[in-house]
A = this chain, B = another copy of it.
Amino acid sequence: MVREVYKEASPSEFFYRNRQLAGFSNPSRALYTAIRELFENSLDACELHRIKPNILISLRHIESTSSNTAIYKLYIQDNGSGIPKEYVLDALGKIFFSSKYILRQSRGTFGLGGTMAILYAQATSGKPVKVVTSTGGKYIVSYVFQIDIDRNRPHVISQKTIRNNLKWRGTILELYLEGNYPHASRYIVSYFKHTAAITPYADITFIDPDGNLFYFPRTVGIMPEPPKETLPHPHGIDLETLKRMIKRSPKSMTISEFLMKNFHRVGKMIAKKFLRYAKIKGNLRLGEMDNTLIEKLYRAMKTFDGFISPSSDVLSPIGERIFKEGILKEFNPEYIDVVTRPPSSYEGHPFIIEAALVYGGSIPGSPGEIVLYRYANKIPLLFDEGSDVAAKVLNNINMNNYKRPMDKPTALFIHIASTKIPFKTVGKEAIADIPEIEKEIELAIRYLLRRFTTYTRKIERKIHAERRLRIFRKYLDLIGEFSAKIIDRDKPNIEVLLEKLEQRYRIDKIKES
C-alpha cells in the first residue's frame, strides 16, 4: 500500500501554484490581470482618499521568449495615498496581508491581486520588483524585493530612504514579467477605455510596448463621495463570526452595548426591541453567555424583522452625472439614458445598481445587437460574461416587448456598487446570481428599455412624418396649381398648409427632446 504524503503549503505557494484561480492562467491573460490588479490598487489608493487619480502605466518590451511572448517591464505610477513605510513590504510581498480586509466598498476585494502580480512577475522573469512610495510626509521609501514563496514573506534585496522635499505622494511599481502583448492588447486597451467611461474624473495614460500612447483625459472636476467603512448588518452575520466577535469583546460588556457597538444601524431602541424579541436580558454580560445562549441570540438575529435595512450612505455609486459624462466622452452616443435604482441589500450587504442605455456613436457591435458592459465597484468585467448575473437577466427579458432602432448597436452599462460583491472567482470576472441583485438589475434594464421604446417610437413617428411631408411638398404644389386652374383661382399658399402639418406631427418638438 502506498503511504500518503501530507504536506503544508504556504499561502504564497498555494496561490502561486494555482495562479489560474486569480486570473494568471497564460501569458496573455496574466499580463492583462497584472496590469488590471495594479491599476485598480492605484485607483483605490486615490479615490478612497478623495484624490483625483493621475495614473501612468507603461509597458516596455525587454526580450522575446517565443514568437508571441516576451519579458516586459511594467511601470505604474499613481498619485494616491501612498503606503506607510511599516506596511509596504507586507502589503505587497505577503499573501493575506492587505488593506482590503475591512467592510468597505473598494475595487480590491480579496487583497490578493497586487501580491499575485508580483509573484507571477518574479516566477516568469526571475527579477525582483521595485517599489517607491510616500504618503506625502518627510521621506520617500524605496525597496527592491522578492517574495520568499516558501515562507510567504518579502525578502529585501536593497532599500533606500530619501528626503521628500517636493512633498510627493503616491506609489511607483516597476516589475518584469512574461506576457503576450500581441494577444492581450485589445483586452488591455478595452479595459482602460471602459474604466475611463465611468471615471471621467481620472487622468489615465497608457504607453504600450509599440510606443502607442492611449490617453484618457480628465473631463469632469467632481468625483464621487468616497465609500465609508461600515459595521456588519445583523442579517449579514453567521454564528461563527458572532462567536468570534463576542470572544474578542470585553467580558464585562453588556449584550446591549455589544449589539450597539458592533452592528450597523443598531441603536438603543432597536437593541431593546430586539432583545425583548430574543428573550435575552439587555444587561447580561458577555462573560456570562454560554454557547447555547449565543446560538439563541444568533437564531433571533436571523428571524427578527425589526432591524433597519443597511444604509447605502457607506456606498460610493458613480452618480448619474459622472456616469453620463464618462460615457459621452468615450462613446459619443446619439442617445443616452441613465438610471440609479434605490439602494437594496442582500444578506445584510447594501448594494446599488446603476445602469445606462446608450445608442449610436462609437459603440462597437453589429446593427440591432445589444452589447452588455458590466461593472462592479467601478471596475469593468470583460471576461466570463456567460456566467454573470447581468447576462442572465438580459437573456430572460423578452425583447419583443420593446422597440429599438435596428440600424446600429445598443449598449447597456450595468454597475453594481456594494460593500461585498458576490464574485464567483478570485479573478473577479462574473457575479453570482443573487435573487435581490437579479431583481434590481432587471428593474433597471426594463426601465431603460421602456424609455428607449418611447424614444424609438417618437423617432419612427418623426421619420414617418418627414416622409409624409416630403410627399405632400412634392404633390401639394401641383395639386394646388391644378385645382386653382379648374376653379379659375390663384394658386393657394401651400407653405401655410405644410407648416400646420409640421406642427401637427411636432417634428421640431421631437428634435428638441
Q: Is the CB of A126 within 8 A of B432?
A: no
How far is it, in angstroms, between the C-alpha of A6 and the C-alpha of B2 when the chains are bound?
44
Q: Are B425 and A424 in contact (CB under 8 A)?
A: yes
**A interface, by DSSP: helix, strand, loop or mixed?**
loop
- Report the Cα distance A149→B424, complex, angstroms: 22
Contact B110–A1 (Cβ < 8 Å): no
- The reply on A102 being an interface residue by CB < 8 A is yes
Q: Which of B7, B50, B124 contacts A239 (CB 8 A)?
A: B124
Q: B425 to A101, Cβ gap below 8 A?
A: no
- Does any Cβ of B come within 8 Å of A503's Cβ? no
Q: Which of B90, B240, B302 contacts A6 (CB 8 A)?
A: B90
A1-41 vs B: 1/0 string, CB under 8 Å? Answer: 11011111111001010101100010000000000000000
> Would you list which residues of chain A between 417 and 435 have a CB under 8 Å from chain B?
422-426, 432
A48 within 8 A of B: yes
Once the chains bind, are A149 and B244 in contact (CB under 8 Å)? yes
A91: Cβ under 8 A from any B Cβ: yes
Tell me whether B7 and A81 are in contact (CB under 8 A): no
Closest CB in chain B relative to A33 CB, distance in Å: 14
**Chain B residue, CB-CB nearest to A422:** B20
Contact residues of A between 226 and 249, Cβ < 8 Å to B:
226, 229, 238-241, 243-244
Q: A21-B425, A96-B10, A426-B21 are in contact. Are A240 and B16 (CB under 8 A)?
A: yes
Cβ contact of A20, chosen from B2, B81, B386, B432, cutoff 8 A:
B432
Interface range for A: 35 or more
- Return chain B residues, CB-CB under 8 Å to A66: 302
Q: Is the CB of B302 within 8 A of A4?
A: no
Please report the C-alpha to C-alpha distance between residue A124 and residue B238 in the assembled complex, in whole angstroms.
Answer: 6
Flag if B243 contacts A126 (CB, 8 Å).
yes
Whether A68 sits at the interface, judged by CB under 8 Å, is no
Instruction: Identify which of A229, A239, A302 gathers the most chain B CB atoms within 10 Å of its CB.
Output: A239
A244–B8 Cα distance when bound, in Å, is 16
Q: Is A84 an interface residue (CB 8 A)?
A: yes
In the complex, what residues of B have CB within 8 A of residue A325's CB?
none
- Quick one: closest B residue to A8, CB to CB? B97
Stretch of A291-299, A446-454, A462-470 lying at the B interface: A291-299
CB distance from A172 to the nearest CB of B (A): 18
Assembly CA distance A294 to B7 (angstroms): 27
- Nearest-CB distance from A273 to chain B (Å)? 21
Residue in chain B with minimal CB distance to A94: B8
A7 and B102 within 8 A (CB): yes
Q: CB-CB < 8 A to A422: which residues of B? A: 20, 25
A48-62 near B? 1/0 per residue, CB < 8 Å: 111000000000000
Distance from A51 Cβ to chain B, minimum over Cβ atoms (Å): 9
Give the CA-CA distance A384 to B384 in the complex, in Å.
11
Q: Of B2, B7, B16, B299, which contacts A98 at CB under 8 A?
A: B7
A91 to B9 CA separation, bound complex (whole angstroms):
12
Most chain B CB within a 10 A radius of its CB, from A5, A97, A240, A387? A240
Contacts of A96-129 to chain B: CB distance below 8 A = 96-99, 101-102, 110-111, 122-126
Is there an interface contact between A150 and B7, defined as CB atoms closer than 8 Å? no
Is the Cβ of A240 less than 8 Å from the Cβ of B149? yes
Q: Given A2-B48, A102-B5, A387-B387, do A20 and B424 touch, yes or no (CB 8 Å)?
A: yes
When the two chains form their complex, are residues B7 and A101 in contact, meaning their CB atoms are under 8 A apart?
yes
A65 at the interface (CB under 8 A from B): yes
Given the contacts A18-B110, A150-B244, A96 and B65 also touching, CB distance less than 8 Å: no
* Contact residues in B for A7 (Cβ distance below 8 Å): 97-99, 101-102
A25 to B240, CA, bound (A): 16
The 7 nearest A-B residue pairs measured at CB: A123-B240, A7-B101, A4-B99, A386-B386, A9-B96, A6-B87, A8-B97
Listed by A's residue number, 15 A-B pairs whose Cβ atoms lie within 8 Å are A1-B81, A4-B48, A6-B99, A8-B90, A8-B96, A9-B96, A11-B11, A11-B14, A20-B423, A20-B432, A123-B241, A126-B291, A384-B387, A386-B386, A425-B425
Knowing that A7-B97, A7-B101, A20-B424 are A-B contacts, what are 5 other residue pairs whose CB atoms are under 8 Å apart, sorted by A's residue number? A1-B81, A18-B110, A65-B302, A123-B241, A386-B386
